[in-house]
Amino acid sequence: MDCFAMSGDAHFSVNTRLTRLLGETYRSSEAALKELVDNAWDADARNVWIILPLPMTSEAIVVRDDGSGMTSLEMQNEYLNIASDKRARTGERTPSMKRRVKGRKGIGKFAGLSLANRMDVTAVARGRRCSLTIDKIALTENENDLESVPLPFIEEEAASGEIGTTIVLSDLDNRLNFPTADRFREVLVHEYGREESFKVFVNDVQLSVEDVPGVSKQVEEVLGESGAVRLHFTIADGKKAPESPGIVLKVAGKVVGRPMLFGLDDDEEIPLKLSKRVYGEVELEGNDHFVTADWGGVIENSKAFQEIQAYVRSIVKQELQETHARDMSLQLARLKRQIDLRLQQLPEHRRRYAEEALSRILRRFYGESEDRISTIAEVALDAIEHDAYWAVLERINTTSRGDVGSFAEALEQFGLVELSAMAAQAKRRLEFLDFLDELIQNDATLEQNVHKALETNLWVFGRQFATMASNATLKSIIASYGIRNSQAIVRRSAQISCCSRILATAT
Ligand SMILES: Nc1ncnc2c1ncn2[C@@H]1O[C@H](COP(=O)(O)OP(=O)(O)O)[C@@H](O)[C@H]1O
Ligand SMILES: [Mg+2]
């Protein structure tokens, strides 16, 4: 019955949906290797151990798990069944741990071959061990007829207690993109760093909060209601916000519900985008009577939880505010360097205002790309240099700060007018410059014609001479506000009103 009752050769069977098989691209070697960890997850493993050799050695990469393994039938019908949809086969959840299945396309196993010329798969199930060797060269030589490529296959008795699956990648061929342990841990930590039932070890060290790039902090305290508390978190670097941010609560080693932000998400002083950079865990030993019976959440108004929440929130908040201030002063410094020349040309009283306006812009647009912020800053400087806007700005400036609501409103209104007016003006100026260019290029044009055209357009010279010299800025302003369609303005206005809310609480 069993088609692998004897050892010999196994073969691929290829589903018609087979596409891009070996050509599947991964962003990095580490991202490719993650496919094998995902497979261990799907196999209900509790542990997966990955060994990455040092670069330039001839040792193999080994990925070993203690999951369900595979019988010889499963190896043939599932493992070697390329491009068969795991979830269509076995459902959305794994059989014993009820995990959400990660497998999709039935090609993850080939990720290993993007790094190695040879892959040895050993899987144990029901007391039998099956081993299979896949040779990349043989596959690529028979790309159009994978089914005909013989894959050396051995089935034998397993050692007692032997379980799971082991993948050995050898004859590694991509030295340039050799996976490093640090980078691999970084790739894995977002998804698996706080999984209690799935421990990942890279070179024998388990993933931890520290693997998230950023500033880490660890504190311990004994609280009145809840006893000893250990808080360990990282504020992730701006560019790489964690995929599932928040802090998990562990009571007596067991995770309660999903990661939480402990009230930071409702804190007006912390932009939501900033709080989404927190990644950590808080552990307590004894007291678990505020945990719901299903261990899926907490009784929020219990004294003990309130106490933990206040503690976690205050410590993380302080760290967030420091990070925030650091980020902003860095950005401000960069921005300043970029626009210093323009600032210097402003009269003293306006310069002071401009500096203030710039730091306000940074606060309002926290989390936006630096490109965008610098474009906004340029527009704001245009506004400050432009008299008509200056009057509006001054009015805003003298609006009572106490009346936060109308101050924010004034800013919002101004923002709308300013953005549309400035961008429209920028666009018209660009058009004018095009016409001017046309005029100048035309052989029939005389010098006096050019003079005539410029007579009423002195903006072309003066400070705006700089504008003319950097058409790129004008172009980018227009592109970034997409002034051609009013929807973009509506979108911007939504953003601005949200930002002015943040600003309102900051002043
Ligand atoms: N480590 C493993 N343990 C048990 N079974 C595995 C393992 N790796 C792969 N398999 C089996 O091989 C199949 C194909 O894996 P893969 O090529 O990654 O595609 P997918 O995960 O999309 O199904 C999986 O669905 C699973 O049945
Ligand atoms: Mg997979």
With a CB cutoff of 8 Å and minimum separation 6, the contacts of 437 are none
Q: Which has the higher per-residue pLDDT, 307 or 489?
A: 307
pLDDT for residue 402 is more than 60 = no
Q: Look-up: residue for tokens 């007692």?
A: 160
Q: What is the 3-state secondary structure (H, E, C) of 305-373?
A: HHHHHHHHHHHHHHHHHHHHHHHHHHHHHHHHHHHHHHHHHCCHHHHHHHHHHHHHHHHHCCCCCHHHH
pLDDT recorded at residue 1: 37
- pLDDT, mean of residues 83-91: 79
Per-residue pLDDT of 13-38, as tens digits, reads: 654 433 355 545 677 889 889 999 99
Tell me the ligand closest to 38's alpha carbon.
Answer: 2
pLDDT recorded at residue 88: 81
Mutation test residue for ligand 1: of 68, 109, 119, 165, the one with most atoms within 8 Å of CB: 109
Going by the DSSP 8-state scheme, the letter that residue 458 receives in this structure is G
pLDDT recorded at residue 472: 47
Cα 20 to middle of ligand 2, angstroms:
15
Q: How far is CA 260 from CA 313, 430, 457, in A?
A: 11, 50, 58
pLDDT for residue 393 is more than 50 = yes
Describe the strand order of the beta sheet including 254-260 as a list of residue ranges: 214-223, 227-236, 278-284, 246-251, 254-260
With a CB cutoff of 8 Å and minimum separation 6, the contacts of 29 are 114, 115, 174, 177, 178, 179
Q: Which atom of ligand 1 is nearest to the CA of 110?
A: 17
**Encoding tokens for residue 151?**
């894959």
Mutation test residue for ligand 1: of 66, 79, 162, 166, the one with most atoms within 8 Å of CB: 79
- Where does the pLDDT of residue 111 fall: very low under 50, low under 70, confident under 90, or very high at 90 and above? confident
Pairing of strands 165-172, 61-65: antiparallel
Q: Which atom of ligand 1 is nearest to the CA of 89?
A: 25
Q: Are 350 and 387 in contact (CB under 8 A)?
A: no
Q: Are 244 and 190 in contact (CB under 8 A)?
A: yes
- Where does the pLDDT of residue 334 fall: very low under 50, low under 70, confident under 90, or very high at 90 and above? confident
Residue 112 beta carbon below 6 angstroms from any ligand 1 atom: no
Tell me the ligand closest to 88's alpha carbon.
Answer: 1
- Where does the pLDDT of residue 294 fall: very low under 50, low under 70, confident under 90, or very high at 90 and above? confident
Q: Which has the higher per-residue pLDDT, 98 or 57?
A: 98
* CA distance linking residue 492 with residue 148, whole number of Å: 58
Q: Are 214 and 234 in contact (CB under 8 A)?
A: yes
Give CA angle at 409 (407, 411), nearest 5°.
Answer: 70
Residue 78 beta carbon below 6 angstroms from any ligand 1 atom: yes
**Encoding tokens for residue 178?**
């050799």
pLDDT recorded at residue 444: 78
The listed range with the strongest mean pLDDT (1-15, 31-45, 269-283, 354-368) is 31-45
- Where does the pLDDT of residue 466 fall: very low under 50, low under 70, confident under 90, or very high at 90 and above? very low
CB-neighbour burial class of residue 426 (10 A; exposed 0-12, middle 13-18, buried 19+): buried
Q: Which has the higher per-residue pLDDT, 264 or 489?
A: 264
**Encoding tokens for residue 459?**
């903006």
Look at residues 365, 286, 285 and name the one whose alpha carbon lies nearest to residue 331: 365
pLDDT recorded at residue 15: 47
- Domains of the chain as residue ranges with CATH: 8-205 (3.30.565.10), 208-319 (3.30.230.10), 346-506 (no CATH)
Q: To the nearest 10°, the Cα dihedral for 434, 435, 439, 442? A: 60
pLDDT for residue 263 is more than 50 = yes
pLDDT for residue 490 is more than 50 = no
- pLDDT, mean of residues 306-326: 92
pLDDT recorded at residue 72: 94
Q: How far is CA 79 from the centre of its chain?
A: 31
For ligand 1, atom 9, which residue shows the shortest CA distance?
A: 39
Per-residue pLDDT of 156-195, as tens digits, reads: 999 999 999 999 999 987 555 688 899 899 889 988 988 8
Per-residue pLDDT of 268-282, as tens digits, reads: 888 888 899 999 999
Per-residue pLDDT of 199-213, as tens digits, reads: 999 999 999 888 998
pLDDT for residue 144 is more than 50 = yes
Mean pLDDT of the chain: 77
* CA distance linking residue 231 with residue 135, whole number of Å: 47
With a CB cutoff of 8 Å and minimum separation 6, the contacts of 148 are 11, 142
